Chain A
C-alpha cells in the first residue's frame, strides 16, 4: 500500500518535473524571463495583471507585456505544483520509508533540489537573465529529474515484481551505461556552454545574424557535434548488448535512448542549417533532459550479476 502510494507520487512528481523543464525552456526560448520584474509576485500581484492599470505605482510599468508575464508566471505556478507534489512524496517517504535509505534520500534530495531551484529562480530574475545563472537553473532541474527518476524506478520495483529484462548488470553493461550517462551530462554542459556564450555574445552584439553568432563561438562547438556522434555509436553498442533481451521495459528504454540521441543530432543540425530555431531549441534541450533520467531508470531495471 505504502509502496504503491510512494511510486505514484514519485511518478507524478517526475512527469510534472519534465513538464516544468519544458515550460522553463519555453520561457527561455520565447524570451519571457523578465515577464515579471519582481519575484515571487508578478507586478506586486499573486495573479499577474491583465491590464496595465492594475500595476501598482511603485513598479515601473515599462516592461509590462501581458503575454510574457503569463508565460513566466506559468513556469512559476507549475514550479509550485511540482514543489507541492514533491512535498507530498517526501512526507510519504518520511512516514513509511525511514528504513529504506534509497527512497528516503531520493525524496529528501529532490525536496532540497526543488527548493533550491525555486530560490535560484529569484536570482535569475534579479540578475536580469544572466545567461550563466539561467543555465545553472536548468542544470539543477536536470539533477532534480535524475533523482526523481531514480526514486520512481526504485519504488516501481517494490510495487511490480514482473521481470523487466533478461540482461544482467554485468561489468560491461554497467560501465557502458555509466559512461553514456556521464558523457551525456558532459554533452549537455557543452551544449549549455554554447547557448550561454551565444546569449552573451548576442547581448553585446544585438545585430549579429545567426551565422555571425556561430562564427563568434569558440571551436568547442565542434566538440559538441563530435561527442554527439560518439554518443550515437555508444548507444548503438548498447542496443547490440541487449539484442538477446525480450521486449521488456529495459529493451524499450535502450531503443528509446538510441532513437532519442538520433533525434537530438537531427535537431542540432536543424538548428544550425535551418530556421524555426526556437521550437527546435526547446525540444533539443527537453530531449536531453529525458536522456539523463531514462538512463538512470534503465540502469536500475537490471538485476545485479551474481558473483
Chain B
C-alpha cells in the first residue's frame, strides 16, 4: 500500500472512531435527560377551589403534565417572577392540550376568588392555568407532605420552586422558579416528557 493510501485509511478510521464517540456521547446525553427526571413521589389527593369557583382535585392532574407553584398575590419578591416564567411557558406550550399549570395561594385569607381572578388575568392567557385556594392547614399539608416543599411562616415562607408532575401524578423534578437556566431546563424536560407520551 502506498503511503498516501495508508494515510487515507488511517484518516477514515480516525473519523469513524470520532463519529462513534460522538454518537455515543449524544446517545448518553439523550438518555441522561430521561434518567434525570426520575420519579420523586406521588401527588396525594387534594381538593381546592379554582378562581372561577370550580373544585379542582388531584383527578385534574390525571393524563396531563402539570407545573405547580405556591404563591400569594401580595408577594412582591419571587412570586411575580415565578408567575411570569409560568406565563412564558404557558404561551410557548399553548398549542398542546397535554400541559396545565397550577398556582396555589399560601395566603387564602387575602386571596379570595375575586383577587385570584384578577391575578390570573395578569398572567394567564389560556384556560389551562388554575389559581387555587383552600384551607390554610390543607395548603401547608399539601406543600410539605404532598410536594415535599417547605411551608413555614406562611404566606411569605412558601417555596419558590416549580414542580413538574407527569401524567400519572408522579412528581418528577423541582426547578427554582426565579432562575432563568432552571426554566430553560424545565422547558426541555417538558418536551422530554411529552415525547415519551
For the complex, is A241 an interface residue (Cβ under 8 Å from B)? no
Q: In the complex the two chains form, is A128's CB within 8 Å of B181's CB?
A: yes
A67 engages B176 (CB within 8 Å): no
B32 near A62 with CB under 8 A, answer: no
A206–B26 touching, CB < 8 Å: no
A63: chain B residues at CB < 8 Å are: 181-182, 185
Per the bound structure, the CA–CA distance linking A205 and B33 in Å amounts to 20
Interface 1/0 per residue, B94-128 and A, CB below 8 Å = 01100000000000000000000000000000000
Query: A247 CA to B7 CA in the complex, in Å?
Result: 14
Chain A interface (Cβ within 8 Å of chain B)?
22, 26, 29-32, 34, 37, 60, 62-68, 71, 128-129, 203-207, 247, 252, 278-279, 282-283
Q: Which residue in chain B gives the minimum CB-CB distance to A252?
A: B4
The answer to whether B75 has its CB under 8 Å from any CB of chain A is no
Chain B contact-residue range equals: 20 to 34
A22-B18, A37-B181, A62-B174 given; A247·B32 CB < 8 A: no
Known: A22-B18, A128-B180. A71 touches B25 (CB 8 A): yes
Given A31-B33, A279-B26, 9 other A-B contacts at CB below 8 A?
A26-B26, A30-B29, A32-B29, A37-B181, A63-B182, A67-B31, A203-B92, A206-B188, A207-B95
Residue of A nearest to B8 (CB): A252
Cβ–Cβ contact A283 & B181, under 8 A: no
Q: Which residues of A contact B173 (CB under 8 A)?
A: 62
| B62-107 CB contacts (< 8 Å) to partner A | 92-93, 95-96
In the complex formed, the residue of A with least CB distance to B89 is A206
Q: Are B185 and A282 in contact (CB under 8 A)?
A: no
Residues of A within 8 A of B22 (CB): 22, 26, 279, 282-283
Partner of B28, one of A22, A37, A67: A67
Given the complex of chains A and B, what is the CA–CA distance between A26 and B32 in angstroms? 15
Chain A residue nearest in CB terms to B18: A22
**Sample (21) of A-B pairs whose CB atoms are under 8 Å apart:** A26-B26, A30-B26, A30-B29, A31-B29, A32-B29, A34-B181, A34-B185, A37-B181, A60-B176, A63-B185, A66-B32, A67-B28, A67-B29, A71-B25, A71-B29, A128-B180, A206-B92, A206-B190, A206-B191, A278-B26, A282-B26
